[in-house]
Amino acid sequence: MRLEESREFTARLEKAALKLLKLEVFRKPDDLARRFGLPLPVVRFWWRNSDQKTEPLGHRELTLKQSKIIRRANQVLEGWEKIKRYRPACGAPLSNGRKCKLSVVIRPPEGWDRGCLADRCRMHGGLSRRVRKKKTEDE
């Protein structure tokens, strides 16, 4: 998973989490993080950096639009899986000519500004801080 894709995926998670917190489907960020298996510091950070204004809704008076928003946000957050088999493959070229099939790494909470998923597995530099150089023709 490339850096742009990871950032885009993380932004979708953040938007869905904040929507559920603003509509008071979950009262605290901790409840939402535990429900969907997200790291607690990340969800707290998202909530702290938002305006933290809520729109209390009576669950019996939900409009069709509000129920769609809640359902879509739940689906986005349910799409987040810590389980390895649901994450994209690493894809690093191996010595036998094939591509690595291991799952990409989940970054620690401090690195979620670069996206929640790294682009490689732990064997092929998923959490390394170095910049990977591309091979040029003259090398």
What confidence tens digit (pLDDT) does each residue in 114-127 have?
Answer: 788 888 888 877 66
What does the radius of gyration of the chain's CA atoms come to, in whole angstroms? 18
Residue 82 has pLDDT above 70, yes or no: no
Phi, psi (rounded to 5 degrees) for 123: -75, -30
Q: Percent of the chain beyond pLDDT 70? A: 82
| Cβ proximity of 26 and 35 under 8 Å | yes
pLDDT of res. 20 = 92
DSSP letter string, 10-67: HHHHHHHHHHHHHTTSSSSHHHHHHHHT--HHHHHHHHHTS--------GGG--HHHH
pLDDT by residue (tens digit) across 5-54? 878 888 999 999 999 999 888 889 999 998 888 888 889 999 999 998 88
At 124 the pLDDT is: 79
One-letter amino acid identity for 23?
L
The pLDDT assigned to 92 comes to 86
Q: What percent of the chain has pLDDT over 90?
A: 16
pLDDT band per the 50, 70, 90 thresholds, residue 67:
confident
pTM score, whole prediction = 0.70
